[in-house]
Amino acid sequence: MTIYKNDTFYKSDKNSFGNQVKKISKLGKHLHNLHRYAQTQTIGYSYHPLLNFFFQQYHQHMIKSCAGLVYCETVKENSTVADIFDEFVAVMREVAVKIKLRKAIASWESKINKNLQRINELEFKLFNSYPQLCVIRLDLYHQERKFLPEQIKVFVNKDRECSYIDLSDGVVSSVPRAVRVPIEVVQKDREHLFANMKGKPDLFRYLKGYVWRIEFTPRAGYHLHLVLFFDGSHVKDDQGLATKIGEYWRDKITQGDGYFDNVNMRRKERWGGTWVLGQIGHWELEKRANLRRYVLGYPCKTNQLVQVMPKKGTHLFGSGLVNRRKLEQRGRPRH
């Protein structure tokens, strides 16, 4: 985690002549997005301790006044925006130690480990019941929606807990603003998709298990990661089926407001030797290990920049078996 490292806005590097030069570090590249990160804070939600800590420190520091400025601009005496950024990071590091932030983070992330255990048990049960499974992964999104500031204010005034953006800094521009849908819309559409599975046998007849997670990123907003396990003896065309499910999400579930990424289409040019989607046999132990690590472990990852836990009663993660009773009656797969 950045607050427990010594990185600064600049890093030392060497140019093609072997001379020492200053370059913007990986940490420094976050500067122009800080204001956007802060806008993810929304009334009525609770947050990962690291995010909550960032929100508090950001609004108390001069860095919030640097939004939109170039890193080399002078803003205070002889201090540039980059200097203010380094000061902001230094303050966060000092305060984090004082308030024992590590302990709060460890408590939060223990829940992640429980989810990992749950997923591993699911994978074991499925492969212990079927000799061949067809694994599909889809990332499901909603399109941005553009509103004028006046329209955004109307939304927020109607429902403070379902606001499209945080208006704590005020809306000063008259230009239409692109904003992402709130988590309630994503959750509702996810529930709609799962409720419709029984009524879509052409897509889900051979579905045997699933894992899903709602995630947030500043660029994509709230979106859904979905991993589906089908009986591999019946489903052979993983790419084709994944495309059809994605189109169903886009055209029927979201009524044209959604779009999707068929991860099964990326194949080995994106995954290299860790490619594990599509057909996987019970005895392909290396592929199964990669499946647990690179595909099933992704919904439980703890290193995303924004980890949000919405208001009480809203779930961000789920997994399960389809036709559990029939699955338990099946025998161990043969060689």
Helix (H, G, I), strand (E, B) or coil at 222: strand
- Asked if pLDDT for residue 63 goes beyond 70, the answer is yes
Burial class of residue 17, CB neighbours in 10 A (0-12, 13-18, 19+)? exposed
The mean pLDDT value of the chain amounts to 82
Q: Choose the weakest-confidence range: 61-70, 120-129, 168-177.
A: 168-177
Cα–Cα distance measured from residue 74 to residue 72, given in angstroms and rounded to the nearest whole number: 6
More confident residue, 130 or 46: 130
- Which segments within 236-305 are labelled E, that is strand? 258-262, 278-281
Q: Hey, which of 159-173, 189-203, 301-315 has the most confident mean pLDDT?
A: 189-203
DSSP state of 120: H
Pair 266, 205: CB distance under 8 Å: no
Convert 21-57 to b/e letters by CB count within 10 Å (16 or more is b). eeeeeebbebbeebbebbbbbbeebebbbbbebbbeb
Q: Show me where the domains of the chain are located.
A: 2-99, 112-144+181-329, 145-179
139: Cα separation from own chain's centroid: 10
Per residue in 114-132, pLDDT (tens digit) is: 888 899 999 999 999 999 9
- Asked if pLDDT for residue 155 goes beyond 60, the answer is no
Cα–Cα distance measured from residue 26 to residue 50, given in angstroms and rounded to the nearest whole number: 19
Point out which residues pair with 109 in neighbouring strands: none
* Per-residue pLDDT, 174: 41
HSE-CB of 334 using CA atoms within 13 angstroms:
0
Point out which residues pair with 321 in neighbouring strands: 209
Pair 209, 121: CB distance under 8 Å: no
* Per-residue pLDDT, 270: 66
Q: Is the dihedral of CA 25, 29, 32, 35 positive or negative?
A: negative
Helix (H, G, I), strand (E, B) or coil at 279: strand
Place of tokens 């989810």: 115
Q: Quick one: pLDDT band at residue 276, thresholds 50, 70, 90? A: confident
- Asked if pLDDT for residue 90 goes beyond 90, the answer is yes
* Per-residue pLDDT, 305: 44
C-alpha dist (Å) from residue 187 to 2, 223, 239, 294, 328: 31, 9, 25, 24, 30
Question: Residues 309-318: what's their mean pLDDT?
Answer: 72
Cα–Cα distance measured from residue 57 to residue 91, given in angstroms and rounded to the nearest whole number: 8
Per residue in 192-227, pLDDT (tens digit) is: 999 999 999 999 999 999 999 998 776 788 899 999
